[in-house]
């Protein structure tokens, strides 16, 4: 809208700026005044009602003071505390008397009480005169018996030492087992007769001659399946190997094993004798493989033992 703003000087309630149409100034405005010059004429009143009004800028409400905010906060805390107390009272068992339920809940009297309660705790939530933010130290009881601890250390060291000794012994035995020969000659002496035909028959073993009392050892690892008297052998010992092969030892003076005993190659089982059908002190040794009597000399040679 174009024109000239003209202040209105009528009643205070209607004091604002109006915009009059261009050219409606001076004498034109004077024509519409009342004869007294104090009140607007009906024409001017109509113009004012239809004119564009620009009121003065309105002011925002001032922000509440810090004191007012504090009072509002305290009132809210007091209301929350009262509601929490009432909720806790509702959860009590029905056995409590009305008088007891009434005395169990003590609402805060007013905002000042709530403020005092809040201010007395400090920032850490701990009552009393402790400064805000002070750490709370809890008393912890430590009971340490130095002698008991020393005893535990000693026992632990002993257990560790025994374990190390046991492991060392196991390693030593494993090394010895790895080095131990798995096949050996059954006796030391002179080879006097081999496997095959002899005197119109068959000799199914080998003979190793030596003096009475010469050790006889197991030629391989196995289990004793028989030990005692035997026809033609005087005394004998029969040992079965893990693969089922059977070794026979005969003509011995005595034996030192029993049925069911586990023996290893090189372990003494008896001593050379001259019992049974014998021409002199010697060991008669046979090998039965897969139910067949085979040449013991060839069997031992195949395993690195030469007689």
The pLDDT score that the predictor gives to residue 299 is 98
113-172: per-residue pLDDT in tens? 444 444 444 444 444 555 555 565 666 555 667 888 888 888 899 999 999 999 999 999
Give the residue among 268, 281, 210, 218 at the shortest CA–CA distance from 248: 218
Do residues 219 and 237 make contact, with C-beta atoms less than 8 angstroms apart?
no
Higher pLDDT, 249 or 113: 249
Strands 190-193 and 206-209: what pairing?
A: antiparallel
Res 145: pLDDT: 78
Mean predicted confidence (pLDDT) in 71-94? 55
Checking DSSP bridges between strand 17-21 and strand 3-7, what pairing results, if any? antiparallel
pLDDT band at 201 (very low <50, low <70, confident <90, very high): confident
Query: 233: closest CA among 265, 266, 205?
Result: 205
235 and 254 in a single domain? The answer is yes
Two structure tokens written together for 251:
């003509």
Mean pLDDT of the chain: 75
Pair (45, 25) in one structural domain: yes
pLDDT tens digits along 10-35:
444 444 444 545 554 444 544 545 45
The predicted pLDDT at position 102 comes to 45
Strand pairing report for 262-263 and 201-203: unpaired
Assigned domain for 228 exists: yes
For position 44, what pLDDT does the model report? Answer: 55
Q: What is the pLDDT of residue 59?
A: 52
Of the chain, the percentage scoring pLDDT greater than 70 comes to 53
Residues 172 and 197 in one domain: no
Amino acid 290: pLDDT:
95
For residue 123, the model assigns a pLDDT of 43
Judge whether 126 lies within some domain.
Answer: no
| Tally of domains within the chain | 4
State the pLDDT at residue 146: 86
Query: Residue 216: in which H helix or E strand, if any?
Result: strand 215-217
Number of other CB atoms surrounding residue 148 within 10 Å: 9
Distance, in Å, from the CA atom of 247 to the CA atom of 183, rounded to the nearest integer, reads 12
Q: Residue 120's pLDDT is what?
A: 46
- Give the span between the Cα atoms of 125 and 134, in whole angstroms: 10
pLDDT band, residue 60 (cuts 50/70/90):
low
Neighbouring C-alpha atoms within 13 Å toward the C-beta of 270: 31
pLDDT at 40 over 90: no
**pLDDT of 72 strictly over 90:** no
Quick check: is 133 in a domain? no
Q: At what angle do helices 66-90 and 111-121 cross, to 10 degrees?
A: 90
**Which residue's entry shows tokens 């008397």?**
97
Question: Do 234 and 275 touch, CB atoms closer than 8 A?
Answer: yes
**Cβ(19)–Cβ(1) under 8 Å?**
yes
Instruction: State the residue range of the domain holding 47.
Output: 3-54
pLDDT of res. 140? 55
Query: Do 177 and 207 have their domain in common?
Result: no
Whether 296 and 241 share a structural domain: yes
- Rounded Cα distance, 21 and 34, in Å: 20
């Amino acid at each position: 809208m174009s024109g000239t703003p003209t202040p209105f000087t009528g009643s205070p309630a209607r004091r604002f700026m109006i915009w009059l149409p261009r050219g409606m100034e001076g004498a034109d405005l004077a024509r519409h005044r009342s004869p007294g010059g104090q009140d607007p004429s009906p024409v001017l009143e109509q113009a004012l009602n239809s004119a564009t009004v620009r009121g003065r800028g309105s002011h925002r409400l001032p922000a509440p003071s810090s004191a007012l905010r504090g009072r509002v906060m305290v009132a809210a805390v007091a209301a929350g505390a009262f509601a929490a107390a009432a909720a806790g009272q509702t959860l009590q068992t029905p056995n409590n008397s009305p008088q007891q339920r009434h005395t169990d809940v003590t609402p805060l009297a007013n905002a000042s009480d709530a403020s005092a309660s809040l201010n007395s705790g400090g920032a850490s939530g701990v009552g009393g005169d402790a400064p805000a933010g002070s750490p709370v130290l809890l008393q912890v009881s430590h009971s340490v018996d130095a002698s008991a601890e020393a005893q535990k250390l000693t026992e632990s060291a002993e257990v560790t030492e025994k374990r190390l000794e046991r492991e060392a012994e196991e390693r030593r035995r494993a090394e010895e087992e790895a080095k131990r020969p798995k096949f050996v000659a059954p006796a030391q002496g002179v080879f006097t007769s081999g496997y095959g035909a002899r005197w119109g028959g068959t000799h199914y073993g080998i003979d190793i001659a030596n003096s009475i009392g010469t050790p006889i050892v197991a030629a391989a690892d196995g289990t004793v399946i028989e030990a005692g008297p035997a026809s033609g052998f005087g005394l004998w010992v029969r040992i079965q190997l893990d693969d089922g092969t059977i070794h026979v030892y005969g003509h011995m003076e005595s034996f030192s094993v029993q049925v069911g005993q586990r023996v290893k190659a090189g372990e003494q089982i008896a001593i050379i004798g001259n019992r049974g059908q014998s021409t002199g002190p010697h060991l008669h040794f046979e090998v039965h493989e897969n139910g067949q009597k085979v040449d013991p000399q060839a069997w031992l040679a195949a395993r690195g033992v030469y007689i």
